[in-house]
Amino acid sequence: MRKFLLLASLLAPTVLASVALAPRTAHADSASAVAGKMQSLTDGEAVYHHVCQSCHMPDGKGAVGAGAQFPALAGNPKLQSAGYPAYVVLNGYGGMPWFAGLLNDQQIANVVNYVRTHFGNHYTDTLKPADVSGMRPHLSVEEE
């Protein structure tokens, strides 16, 4: 019995460590986690909260840290023209990834309109999905 207890006490840390270090499913709000939910995000606020706020912050004031700078959307004069933020969302800019493959035209129009009318921004002209469609990068595949 004494040998069993000694063996169990020696093996217990190894068993516990292997259980603790076992691979698990990630539950972070990463791009892959968001990708499956994207079709259900219909309004601009929902798209902002699920896609944009992790970098631009919930209040739209942006952030600086870890070698990166995320620009403020709050009171940003670059949002005066609806085409600029739509282009950036579609194509990316600097460290911001492009979302042309993740968001549809309606979602991009909705999130741009949301940002342009919130966070101290008061731009009232509306971006339409057809406007976004005209800016969307058209990728061509060369035929062999």
* In the block, residue with structure tokens 């058209």: 138
Domains and CATH numbers, the chain: 31-135 (1.10.760.10)
85: which residues sit within 8 A by CB, 6+ positions away? 78, 79, 112, 115, 116
Average pLDDT over residues 132-142: 73
pLDDT value, residue 17: 44
CA–CA separation, 73 vs 57, rounded Å? 9
Q: Judge whether residue 133 has pLDDT over 90.
A: yes
Q: Does 92 have pLDDT greater than 90?
A: yes
Contact 94, 51 (CB under 8 A): no
Report the SS3 class of residue 83.
helix
Does 32 have pLDDT greater than 90? no
pLDDT in tens, 96-120: 999 999 999 999 999 999 999 999 9
Amino acid letter, 144: E
Closest Cα partner for 51 from 6, 111, 2? 111
Write down the residue that tokens 């911001």 correspond to.
96
pLDDT of residue 1: 56
The residue ranking higher by pLDDT, 60 or 68, is 60
Check: CB of residue 117 under 8 Å from CB of residue 109.
Answer: no
Cα 127 → chain centroid? 21
How far apart, in Å, are the Cα atoms of 88 and each of 94, 102, 112?
9, 14, 10
**What is the distance, to the nearest Å, from the Cα of residue 63 to the centroid of all Cα atoms in its chain?**
15
Q: What was the pLDDT predicted at 88? A: 95
